[in-house]
Amino acid sequence: MQTLDKPLQQEIDQPLTIAGKSFNSRLMTGTGKYRTLEQMQQSILACGCEIVTVAVRRVQTQAPGHEGLAEAIDWKKIWMLPNTAGCQNAEDAIRVARLGREMAKLLGQEDNNFVKLEVIPDPKYLLPDPIGTLEAAEKLVKEGFAVLPYINADPLLAKRLEEVGCATVMPLGSPIGSGQGIKNAANIQIIIDNAKVPVVVDAGIGTPSEAATAMEMGADALLINSAIALAGQPAMMAKAMGMATQAGRLAYLSGRIPIKNYATASSPVTGTINS
Amino acid sequence: MQTLDKPLQQEIDQPLTIAGKSFNSRLMTGTGKYRTLEQMQQSILACGCEIVTVAVRRVQTQAPGHEGLAEAIDWKKIWMLPNTAGCQNAEDAIRVARLGREMAKLLGQEDNNFVKLEVIPDPKYLLPDPIGTLEAAEKLVKEGFAVLPYINADPLLAKRLEEVGCATVMPLGSPIGSGQGIKNAANIQIIIDNAKVPVVVDAGIGTPSEAATAMEMGADALLINSAIALAGQPAMMAKAMGMATQAGRLAYLSGRIPIKNYATASSPVTGTINS
Amino acid sequence: MQTLDKPLQQEIDQPLTIAGKSFNSRLMTGTGKYRTLEQMQQSILACGCEIVTVAVRRVQTQAPGHEGLAEAIDWKKIWMLPNTAGCQNAEDAIRVARLGREMAKLLGQEDNNFVKLEVIPDPKYLLPDPIGTLEAAEKLVKEGFAVLPYINADPLLAKRLEEVGCATVMPLGSPIGSGQGIKNAANIQIIIDNAKVPVVVDAGIGTPSEAATAMEMGADALLINSAIALAGQPAMMAKAMGMATQAGRLAYLSGRIPIKNYATASSPVTGTINS
Amino acid sequence: MQTLDKPLQQEIDQPLTIAGKSFNSRLMTGTGKYRTLEQMQQSILACGCEIVTVAVRRVQTQAPGHEGLAEAIDWKKIWMLPNTAGCQNAEDAIRVARLGREMAKLLGQEDNNFVKLEVIPDPKYLLPDPIGTLEAAEKLVKEGFAVLPYINADPLLAKRLEEVGCATVMPLGSPIGSGQGIKNAANIQIIIDNAKVPVVVDAGIGTPSEAATAMEMGADALLINSAIALAGQPAMMAKAMGMATQAGRLAYLSGRIPIKNYATASSPVTGTINS
């Protein structure tokens, strides 16, 4: 891979910019579900991510088996994205968002005002509530948060959230942890085609091919947790996801060939055989 | 990507071995359709491939615009895979295979007995003839060729070709150059699950996500030409294809998460909020 | 078809019941886009529908080429479903819903309180606004309407609408008139599995196979307009859609075979040939 | 359904003609796997089929539980399609085809020279052998049979079989009894677009929507067995399959709407609200 080394790619591509902060990696990961903290650490390294999301409530309550999670990550290198997992309504989410900001400060990220907003009343599918999410987003934006809302792939809701000042929109590909892939592709494409903020595809991605698919569609970034943490070999899958995210981005920038009904010869032969 | 560097991956994975010859890269490319020889050279470098297929008839006849193609590649580093593109029946293909062996020798690969066998009577879809392919394969194997036959994704035909001694089978994902992706996935999966020779998915792949998909299914290698050569920026797409091939392979080795109907919380919360 | 004639099917199946009113047909159609009123009349007859939706604003304003539309349908046999097409916000939709009720009364349906609620600010994709739809639905329910809201396939929004008293939910398969089919199948399935009101798949269906697919998933009914009105032969397509809706419903009631990875012999042979 | 009654449809459509014999129904069924002979009889009636395939070897050997099968069908109304299920090579299949012709004669169909040719060496996927099938087909055609070969969806093989005089080609959608649906759609479409004999999609169809899909693609007929025989309620599913086959055919004749990326309003509103 001599010819297209990092400098070249960076000339072509722009960094991912969210709320004024720039990142080279377009893959975000999480901290949940890993079998060991060591696997989490290795996976974060292997995928090359620069943003890691953390469930504020779990860290606050030191949920069993997750002690020391916040300390296990080098927050000088990784940007924390506190999330409001476990919140079933707008008020809870707002309260937890504030706790998250405190947590980031305590861990040394004084200027971190990011929050991944999850308002999820439903425990079975873990699908977000559009009304509660919009309500919480409006309030958090007014409080100065950079809000990254987790939403169903509803283009009108995405537009509303953008209008109230959200920093990104994060439509889901399929239910969290389901590994079903990009089930809402048509709607996600409409969101991508119309958004003026970064679109981060979140939830549902199970394989590198699905990660690449989302990036080829023009998504600005991805968030992948379960597919890495619960893979047979998390760090190896993490590396695969990092490569696929880059591959999908490069393909989006390169311009794919058109899809044709018929074949086109790779090697047209106009001459005859000289034998 | 410090933790999972090349040595670690190589410990886990085996090289691709075809007819006793081993390769680290699992992506093969072609030489057709490039707008310039320079783009071809850059793309071959960018994707990291070690096997490149060449249409023997085109090189023999010095088809317009392709003069110097054979000389443009460093055959000390790249293994030539002569192909029989343009042959409509078994006899033609056998004759061109022999020419290909001569060509490889002339270019310095004395021991190269590889041939990508294409018997394609149909100019519209460029689909291979199963009967002619089997007939030519049998004869070429007897002549000492390592035969890599291009076939429709027919599991029984694949088995027959393996039984007559082919070195691989190369089922097509969709018609050559169509960029339709993996349209025969169910049959290709059956071929993969039952083959004792390497399965190389050939033709139809249009994007890195499709390349990764084939590798995640367990394909041993891929051959991609049009999707690189005709991309907006061939070398960048070549790099993307190389990364996606690796990502798909790593994912296959890692073990993906199961697909679930319902969600699974990334961040289960058992405690309550302390606020 | 002697054995499973109508009586038998009706013993097994229940009628479709919306807001206390029962219907034998599970296919609803529209009045827009037909080339002639005669084609509309023939199509309504051919598909066997009992509910037809009418754009209140178009009828009120006697939009060019659509004079006499309301009079062209036999409202003694067909139940009118006034819709609020063309309304971009909740207030407009509420006002038009009231006009629709007046229109139904004038045409002889004194007790018709149905309204298909469409709040569509976006002219390109014609996707509904979840916030405005919920707001209008709440108010219209309080005014005594049987509200059938047109929504994106968002399970949480569907649940909210059910909770405020809507008579059905009408998730879209894909954008209106796009003929893309059921692009939101995963979400629609979640809605079906959890709804306590009838689920009517609306918009996007382009073919009978797609109509059958939605019914096989367990949808209670369908609304199809463009795919019939703009078909080459509308009445023939209408008949096909009617049959496919019934076929899909019967299949749902029958219980389909499980999907298997491997084959199962249709005709297992245990003996040997006597020849 | 007053407007488009049978006469009208028949004016538009042609009957299905195979080897000079015409049929009104485009759905063929089988006799295997039913739980009772009565369910088989009811299903045959319910789906309206006119051709039923019978495994010659099973009838010859009176396989357990299937005594009286041949006598259970009214061969004055139903055209028998003897099949060579259980044959692993060309010789066996030829021998069983001859037995089938005798069987048809004994049951009163003197002029019945049809045979559904199955050459299936593989017991796991039940996929046909292309080489053995072509070999047997050539010989059977020369013996005066109307040969309907069961094949993988290989367009070149289909063309070869047509050239040696087969009466139809019968590409499989997916493995027999798998209920996976139409997995080889791209190849089947190529076969349909190029065949000069009827194309009968055989094997794999699990639901009415899949039956309709194949017919919408332009298939001339379908053969469905497992999806009916093993459904929860076979006769009801049979009826559904019969309706879906007709619906798909009508849609093919009607001309579907084009698929669009964007929406098209069902009810364009040009006026303003008069309220």
A271 pLDDT more than 80: no
Nearby residues of A268 by Cβ (< 8 Å), 6 or more positions away: B32, B58, B63, B86
In chain C, which residues have their Cβ closer than 8 Å to the Cβ of D240? Answer: 246-248, 250-251, 254
Cβ <8 Å between D3 and C45: yes
Q: Does A174 touch chain C (CB under 8 A)?
A: yes
Report yes or no on D160 lying in a domain: yes
Chain C residue with Cα closest to A131: C131
Tell me if residue D100 falls in helix, strand or coil.
helix
Higher pLDDT, A267 or A54: A54
Q: Does B7 touch chain A (CB under 8 A)?
A: no
For an interface test with A, give the residue of B4, B102, B150 to mutate (most A CBs within 10 A).
B4
Check: CB of residue B265 under 8 Å from CB of residue A176: yes
Encoding tokens for residue B257?
């998460």
**Mode of pairing for the β-strands spanning D21-23 and D16-18:** antiparallel
Catalytically annotated residue among C33, C76, C116, C124: C116
Cα of A140 to nearest chain B Cα, Å: 17
For an interface test with C, give the residue of D150, D257, D259 to mutate (most C CBs within 10 A).
D257
Q: Does C6 touch chain D (CB under 8 A)?
A: no
A1 pLDDT more than 70: no
Residue numbers of the domain that contains B57: 25-253
Encoding tokens for residue D73?
């069908």
ipTM: 0.90
Q: Does B259 touch chain A (CB under 8 A)?
A: yes
d(CA B29, CA A254): 17
d(CA D203, CA D32): 13
Angstrom CA distances, A54 to A58, A63, A178, A224, A261, stand at 8, 13, 19, 13, 46
Summarised one tens digit per residue, pLDDT across range C84-136 is: 999 999 999 999 999 999 999 999 999 999 999 999 998 888 899 999 999 99
Cα of C124 to nearest chain D Cα, Å: 6
C262 pLDDT more than 90: no
Which residue from D178, D209, D256 is facing C262, i.e. has the nearest CB? Answer: D178
Encoding tokens for residue B147?
């035969």
Check: CB of residue A18 under 8 Å from CB of residue A148: yes
D263 pLDDT more than 90: no
Nearby residues of D184 by Cβ (< 8 Å), 6 or more positions away: B183, B184, B186, B187, D152, D153, D171, D172, D173, D174
Report yes or no on C220 lying in a domain: yes
Encoding tokens for residue B143?
């002549």
Q: Does D180 touch chain B (CB under 8 A)?
A: yes
Which residue from D125, D134, D155 is facing B125, i.e. has the nearest CB? Answer: D155
In chain D, which residues have their Cβ closer than 8 Å to the Cβ of C270? Answer: 61, 63-64
Which residue from C128, C152, C155 is facing A127, i.e. has the nearest CB? Answer: C155
Tell me if residue B52 falls in helix, strand or coil.
strand
Q: Which chains share 3+ C-beta pairs under 8 angstroms with B?
A: A, D
Cα of D165 to nearest chain C Cα, Å: 26
Report yes or no on D271 lying in a domain: no
Catalytically annotated residue among B6, B77, B116, B239: B116
- How many domains would you assign to chain C? 1
Tell me if residue C106 falls in helix, strand or coil.
helix
Encoding tokens for residue A271?
């001459």
* Crossing angle of helices A208-216 and B234-254, rounded to 10°: 150
In chain D, which residues have their Cβ closer than 8 Å to the Cβ of C179? Answer: 256-260
In chain A, which residues have their Cβ closer than 8 Å to the Cβ of B212? Answer: 207-209, 212, 244, 247
**Mode of pairing for the β-strands spanning C146-151 and B114-117:** unpaired
pLDDT tens, chain B, 275 aa long: 334 444 445 457 899 999 999 999 999 999 989 999 999 999 999 999 999 999 999 888 776 656 788 889 999 999 999 999 999 999 999 999 999 999 999 999 999 999 999 999 988 888 999 999 999 999 999 999 999 999 999 999 999 999 999 999 999 998 887 888 998 888 999 999 999 999 999 988 999 999 999 999 999 999 999 999 999 999 999 999 999 999 999 999 999 988 887 776 655 444 333 33
In chain C, which residues have their Cβ closer than 8 Å to the Cβ of A155? Answer: 122, 125, 127, 152
Cβ <8 Å between C32 and D266: yes
pLDDT at position C29 is: 97
Which residue from C47, C175, C240 is facing D262, i.e. has the nearest CB? Answer: C175
Chain D residue with Cα closest to B178: D186
Summarised one tens digit per residue, pLDDT across range C167-203 is: 999 999 988 878 888 988 889 999 999 999 999 999 8
Report yes or no on A112 lying in a domain: yes
Residue A2: pLDDT band with limits 50, 70, 90: very low
Cα of D117 to nearest chain B Cα, Å: 16
Q: Does B95 touch chain A (CB under 8 A)?
A: yes
For chain B, how far is it from start to end, CA to CA, in angstroms? 38
DSSP letter (8 states) at residue A83: E
Catalytically annotated residue among A6, A33, A105, A116: A116
Report yes or no on A5 lying in a domain: no
Summarised one tens digit per residue, pLDDT across range C44-83 is: 999 999 999 999 998 887 766 567 888 899 999 999 999 9
Which residue from A86, A178, A212 is facing B259, i.e. has the nearest CB? Answer: A178
185-214 in D: which are within 8 Å (CB) of C?
206-210, 212-213
3-state secondary structure string across B54-106: EEHHHHHHCCCCCCCCHHHCCCCCCEEEEECCCCCCHHHHHHHHHHHHHHHHH
Report yes or no on B275 lying in a domain: no
CA atoms within 13 A on the CB side of A25: 24
Q: Label residue B234 left, alpha or beta by phi (over 0 means left) and psi (-120 to 50 means alpha).
A: alpha
Q: Does B241 touch chain A (CB under 8 A)?
A: yes
3-state DSSP helix/strand/coil % of chain A, to nearest 5: 40, 15, 45
Report yes or no on D264 lying in a domain: no
Q: Which of B75-79, B183-187, D90-94, D228-232 has the lowest mean pLDDT?
A: B183-187
Residue D64: pLDDT band with limits 50, 70, 90: low
Cα of B27 to nearest chain D Cα, Å: 25
Question: Would the CA dihedral through C62, C65, C67, C71 be positive or negative?
Answer: negative
User: Does C239 participate in catalysis according to the annotation?
Assistant: no
133-162 in A: which are within 8 Å (CB) of B?
none
Q: Does A78 touch chain B (CB under 8 A)?
A: no
In chain B, which residues have their Cβ closer than 8 Å to the Cβ of D190? Answer: 125, 127
Which residue from B63, B250, B271 is facing A63, i.e. has the nearest CB? Answer: B271
What stretches of chain A show up as alpha helix (H) in DSSP?
6-12, 37-47, 56-61, 90-106, 130-142, 155-163, 185-194, 208-216, 226-229, 234-254
In chain D, which residues have their Cβ closer than 8 Å to the Cβ of B190? Answer: 125, 127
Chain D residue with Cα closest to B161: D131
Encoding tokens for residue A179?
């590994």
Report yes or no on B62 lying in a domain: yes
Q: What is the CATH number of the domain that holds C231?
A: 3.20.20.70
Cβ <8 Å between D85 and C275: no
Cα of C107 to nearest chain A Cα, Å: 35
